[in-house]
Chain A
Amino acid sequence: MFQQLNHNMGSYARFILRRDRFRLPVWVISLVLLTVVTAMSYTLLAPTEQDRAMMAATVANPAVTAMFGPGWGLDNYHFGAIMGHQMLLFTALLVAVMSILLTVRHTRGDEESGRIEMIRSLPVGRLTILSSTALVMFGANLVLALLTAFGLFVLGLEGIDWHGSLLYGASLGATGFLFAAVTGLFAQLSDNSRGTMGYSFAFLGLAYLVRGIGDVGNETLSWFSPLGWIVRTQVYVNNYWGPFLLITGAAIAFFALALYLNSLRDLGAGFIPAKPGRKTASPLLLSPLGLAFRLQRGTIIGWAVAMFLLGASYGSVLGDLDSYLESMEIIRDVLIVAEGFSLTEQFIPMLMAVMAMSAAIPVLLMILKVRAEESRNRMEHLLARAVSRTSILGSYMLLSVLAGFVMMLAAILGMWSAGAATMEAPLALSTISNAGMTYLPALWVMSGIGALMVGLLPRAVSFTWFYLGYSFFVVYLGALLQLPVWMARLSPFGHVPKLPVEEANFAVYTILAFIALVLTVIGFGSYNRRDIAG
């Protein structure tokens, strides 16, 4: 029976590997490199034991705990402890994203596009597709785990021993496998790939949020989140394997459940039923803009909620942060860069940068949708009717720009309201709002780059994601890793004045806006001139 259901699992797994022969290595190698390069850079950043003790003192605060998890071994903050504290969770998030994207692609994504129908007509078992996807994801995460462990160990840094490196890699791999399993489960519940992706990312977001709140406040809560488990391996400090086993066990359980549900359902069906819809369209839908909005409504709402929660989770620790930092003279000496501002205020630009770059994700999604629609052969429906290319691209561009504003607004409101609830002397809404909205011109540049790529280089639109990843790396980690300034200058986010510590600089805003405009104009021009694939 089991054999029947999983017939040809090996060959199908090989087929998946073939389809992902570039995608998969790129993901795995970039993630391993990220880990290794970061570990190396800490030797530049904090070469002496004293530097690291100083660093330990700066990061021992609730805001950092909320973002990266609790710090273990702060009293002996060697490179191992630093990696376990500052990199493990962050990398785990990226590994989870990889697993979610790849798993959706090979399960519900293929099923929705009708490809699985074709495959299933061959001598392939009913569960083969899910089980081979599981096999591939297991293999990919295993390779990732081993390479990471090996890569860390060979650096030979203080505190980075063989045992810890193995646990470090294994925990990352197990987390990746767990999120593949969770996605596999959602692929059974939802009957479309958008839903599957949405549920999976919501689960990831929730796991991060629950862990953040738990780590700062109530430790028990953290045990309800798989991301709470991984930081509790206390890797390189105490090397607990328990949480790793917990993650692996949960992954196996989720996959088993997914396989069971898969065996019950029909091809194309899902357990969350689709309800009957409208027989006629609402007038709001009946324009290119209406359609563009309708197609992305869920994305906008979902991201706005996520941005609000992200803002709120940062805002909620602002209150503690100030009093905590106030009480510790040494830390104040380390942190103070600008006179006349509270520590909280100095922290805000960094938080806002993170939120603005997170907001750039929906901003890019909105504009790159033009290309996604084209690859799915749905643009020709519009273009064959009395709709100009400018009005199509314009609709998506408008949504992209508006989304940037909405996302920042949500983040600002989240941060402000949570801050107001927890702080004795809450920050003024205008302070937070200015600190957030200062990033809008940078988001316009991102929209502009999206439009440019869609018009000029439609085959290479994924470059924009690399560019955003680069921005994140240099702007967020750049200060920490003491990267040269010009690297951050290559990103629009690296130019934005850091309100409230710095002053608003309208010349910078104007230049950014102008760059955005030029990119957009070129994008529109090219889009009007090129072939549309479908």
Chain B
Amino acid sequence: MTVIKTTNLTKRFGRLTALDQVNLEVKQGEVYGFIGPNGAGKTTAIRVLLGILKATGGQATVFGKDAWKHAVEIHRRIAFVPGEVNLWSNLTGGEVIDLFVKLRGAGNKNRREELVKKFDLDTAKKCGTYSKGNRQKVALVAAFASDADLYILDEPSAGLDPLMEQVFQECVLEARKEGKSVFLSSHILSEVEKLCDRISIIRQGRIIESGSLDELRHLTRIRVRVETRKPVTFLKDTKGVYDIGEKGQTISFQVDTEVLGDVMKRLSEAEIVKLESQPPTLEDLFMRHYRGVGGGQ
């Protein structure tokens, strides 16, 4: 079942096109990663999905309903953590959590207490005195104390310390175990790699890559380190080979998967002594896309 679906979703702010024909599909029970550089349009996409912004073109549906027209209905089943948590300085964290849970619909009292303890949050303090991480925790506790079917999280772990980051990841995995869906925008790639089933990369308002992590890896380059007896000179002139570095007899480079076979064949002619290859990390993938799509660097 599809939880979120956008077709050719476009959002313009005056002359600036923040979202350009975005197509997304999040299925039930899936943790979906949404990554992209600053200003790529992640928050904008989320706000359109929440009916806070009105799409300029295309469609956005959540649970099969139009995100703008049926916002209130949809939100009864959604829990949300905004990218920048601004709270009311004269309300306490506890008051805000209760308010957020209540405004969404039903909440779970025990779950709330458990989460407050897990996230180690002092709920008696005024929000004005909270640090960034603590404000984030307020939003997280409110989100996960709700019985939602879909969690929309915009950089939810920004400002959390590593221990709290761990707690957060547990919450996400728990939600997935219960068959819930999570839409996660994040800059922390290790987190995305660990949590997400599928990923979309957005850049300048356009989706430039989507799929499972394995699929994405497939599309990209492998990092190779090789030591040979005979000198290797052909690499520089081979298409699909990048980032060549030499250190004595050891050569390291990146290679597109399509030409990997050819390259290996020619390398073996130079008598391989040692060979290491590494699948690309999400970071490699990311760097490549962030710096500009296509060709070498």
Contacts and interface: CB of A to CB of B under 8 A. Distances in A.
A386 B104 contact: yes
Contacts of B96: 281
Contacts of B126: 274, 277
B95 A376 contact: no
B168 to A, nearest CB: 19
Binding site secondary structure of chain A: loop
Most buried by B among A276, A280, A388, A529: A280
Interface string A270-290: 000010111111000111100
A285 to B, nearest CB: 6
B62 to A, nearest CB: 12
Interface in A369-418: 376-388
A167 B209 CA distance: 71
B54 A381 contact: no
B131 to A, nearest CB: 10
Binding site secondary structure of chain B: mixed
Contacts of B84: 377, 534
A91 to B, nearest CB: 34
Given A277-B92, A280-B95, A380 B104 contact: no
B90 A385 contact: no
Given A280-B95, A383-B71, A386-B72, A112 B128 contact: yes
B82 A384 contact: yes
A192 interface: yes
A270 to B, nearest CB: 10
A529 to B, nearest CB: 7
B94 A384 contact: no
Given A191-B128, A383-B51, A385-B103, A377 B86 contact: yes
B125 interface: yes
B25 interface: no
B268 interface: no
B53 interface: yes
Given A277-B95, A380-B52, A192 B75 contact: no
Interface residues on A, range: 35 or more
A286 B102 contact: yes
Interface string B115-151: 0000000011110110000000000000000000000
A437 to B, nearest CB: 32
A295 B94 contact: no
Interface string A521-534: 00000000111101
B53 A286 contact: no
Contacts of A532: 52-53
A291 interface: yes
A285 B98 contact: yes
Interface in B60-94: 71-73, 75-76, 78, 80, 82, 84, 86-92, 94
Contacts of A529: 54
A287 B102 CA distance: 8
A387 B88 CA distance: 18
A276 B92 CA distance: 8
B99 interface: yes
A531 B124 contact: no
Nearest to B80: A384
Given A274-B128, A384-B78, A295 B53 contact: no
Nearest to B11: A531
Interface in A262-321: 268, 274, 276-281, 285-288, 291, 294-295
A98 to B, nearest CB: 25
Nearest to B48: A531
B48 to A, nearest CB: 9
A194 interface: yes
A279 B124 contact: yes
B47 interface: yes
B241 interface: no
A261 to B, nearest CB: 19
Most buried by B among A280, A385, A529, A532: A385
B105 interface: yes
Contacts of A268: 129
B100 A531 contact: no
A387 B94 CA distance: 20
Given A277-B92, A285-B95, 16 more contacts: A191-B129, A194-B89, A194-B90, A274-B128, A277-B124, A278-B94, A278-B95, A281-B96, A281-B102, A383-B52, A383-B71, A384-B78, A385-B100, A386-B73, A531-B54, A532-B52
